[in-house]
């Protein structure tokens, strides 16, 4: 017989993302107002689960957080309880301490966990589900690259921030007759670059899914000069790479579950275009501005829908699943099906074809 759900826990893991607080709010309000449940938050991601750092979430605790960026529970993108680092004899060793986290869930009297995060966080959620923990996942990433869901919350805000940056770069590019390159996040997927580039009127968009020839980008800018346009704006996804080259890595963080940090390709592209075209070029790396601050109205609504749907899955005891958006409807899919699968831009898809049809260059 299924156990009656009385108390749920919430955890936010991985990078911060606009809309996290809206999800926490929706989970808490739905759980309390609709089902009269208790809600507990684990602080600082999986580290807090290991250390037993909890906070009671009631209606007062989540009041006013809907428009706030970040997460009131805080987060960490370095703590994997299935491979947790310890220092022994001056060296880092890794141990599986997931049983400690499971015991802390039991000690807190929690019947089910709602875990909010991207691929890394949800991989651990799946692993906890395999060990018998009642888990429901909520997809979170500005990169929009999680499989089996149409849109992840935080993506719309990141695109809006990047689009505003392009609007501002246009005016300075035109004033100085410059090439302005904007590097945006997205890791191995080009969604932010593609949608912001279209919305912001970019002349070229370089994304991971379409390796580029810098000569062809230069030819596009030279043609614009012949047409009387002595400036150009180029959007570069951090995971973009030339046809004959590799990814540009800014650093390697050894103690992180995902040690590769991309970055610097925008500066590289700007330098090459300056040499090839003869126009002064500047690069702007948008960085964490895309992840911080107030979520858009769309992301607030989407986050609220994700949070409410996660509670419904818990009450239906459909554990081991992730909430998804399919068309206009909230649905779900197994965490087993989601993990390890990237949702990439289709180089032959309608969005890329639309961009090319209005004259945007992809360097291919």
What gap in Å lies between CA 122 and CA 127, rounded to an integer?
8
Active-site annotation holds for 107: no
Handedness of CA 215, 217, 221, 223 (dihedral sign): positive
Q: Give which of 179, 204, 187 is closest to 271, Cα–Cα.
A: 179
The DSSP output letter for 133 is: -
Six-digit token pair at 62? 């989540």
What gap in Å lies between CA 272 and CA 215, rounded to an integer?
9
Q: In what order do the strands lie in the sheet with 321-326?
A: 54-56, 38-42, 7-12, 112-117, 135-139, 321-326, 329-334
What pLDDT is recorded for position 1?
43
Question: Average pLDDT per run of 10 along the chain, which is 364 residues long?
Answer: 87 95 98 98 97 98 96 92 92 94 98 96 97 97 95 97 97 94 96 98 98 97 94 97 86 70 91 95 94 96 98 98 97 95 96 98 97
Instruction: Point out the catalytic residue in the list 127, 143, 145, 299.
Output: 143
So what CATH class is 159-291+346-357?
alpha beta
What pLDDT is recorded for position 205?
98
- Fold type of domain 7-153+295-327: Rossmann fold (3.40.50)
Residue intervals of the chain classified under CATH 3.40.50.460 are: 159-291+346-357
What pLDDT is recorded for position 248?
81
Residue intervals of the chain classified under CATH 3.40.50.450 are: 7-153+295-327
What gap in Å lies between CA 124 and CA 142, rounded to an integer?
19
pTM of the model: 0.94
What pLDDT is recorded for position 2?
65
Torsion of CA 125, 127, 130, 133, to 10 degrees: -40
What pLDDT is recorded for position 260?
78
């Amino acid at each position: 017989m299924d156990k009656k759900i009385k108390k749920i826990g919430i955890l936010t893991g991985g990078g911060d993302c606009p809309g996290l607080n809206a999800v926490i709010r929706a989970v808490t309000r739905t759980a309390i107002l609709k089902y009269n449940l208790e809600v507990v938050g684990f602080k600082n991601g999986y580290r807090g689960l290991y250390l037993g750092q909890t906070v009671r979430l009631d209606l007062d605790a989540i009041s006013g957080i809907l428009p706030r960026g970040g997460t009131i529970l805080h987060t960490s993108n370095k703590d994997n309880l299935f491979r947790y680092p310890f220092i022994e004899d001056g060296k880092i060793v890794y141990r599986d301490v997931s049983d400690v986290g499971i015991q802390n869930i039991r000690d807190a009297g929690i019947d089910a966990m709602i875990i909010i995060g991207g691929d890394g966080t949800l991989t651990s959620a799946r692993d906890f589900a395999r060990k018998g923990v009642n888990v429901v996942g909520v997809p979170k990433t500005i990169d929009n690259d999680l499989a089996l869901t149409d849109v992840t919350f935080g993506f719309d805000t990141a695109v809006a921030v990047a689009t505003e940056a392009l609007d501002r770069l246009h005016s300075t590019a035109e004033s100085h007759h410059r090439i302005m390159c904007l590097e945006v996040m997205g890791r191995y997927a080009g969604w932010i670059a593609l949608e912001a580039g279209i919305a912001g009127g970019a002349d070229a968009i370089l994304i991971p899914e379409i390796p580029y020839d810098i000569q062809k980008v230069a030819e596009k800018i030279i043609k614009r000069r012949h047409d009387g346009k002595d400036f150009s704006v180029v959007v570069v996804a951090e995971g973009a790479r030339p046809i004959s080259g590799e990814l540009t890595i800014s650093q390697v963080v050894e103690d992180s579950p995902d040690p590769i940090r991309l970055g610097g390709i925008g500066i590289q592209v700007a330098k090459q275009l300056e040499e090839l075209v003869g126009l002064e070029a500047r690069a702007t790396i948008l960085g964490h501005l895309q992840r911080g601050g107030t979520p858009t109205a769309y992301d607030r609504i989407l986050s609220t829908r994700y949070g409410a749907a996660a509670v419904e899955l818990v009450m239906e005891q459909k554990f081991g699943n992730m909430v998804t958006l399919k068309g206009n409807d909230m649905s779900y899919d197994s965490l087993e099906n989601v993990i390890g699968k990237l949702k990439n831009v289709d180089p032959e898809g309608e969005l890329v074809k639309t961009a090319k049809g209005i004259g945007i260059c992809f360097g291919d």
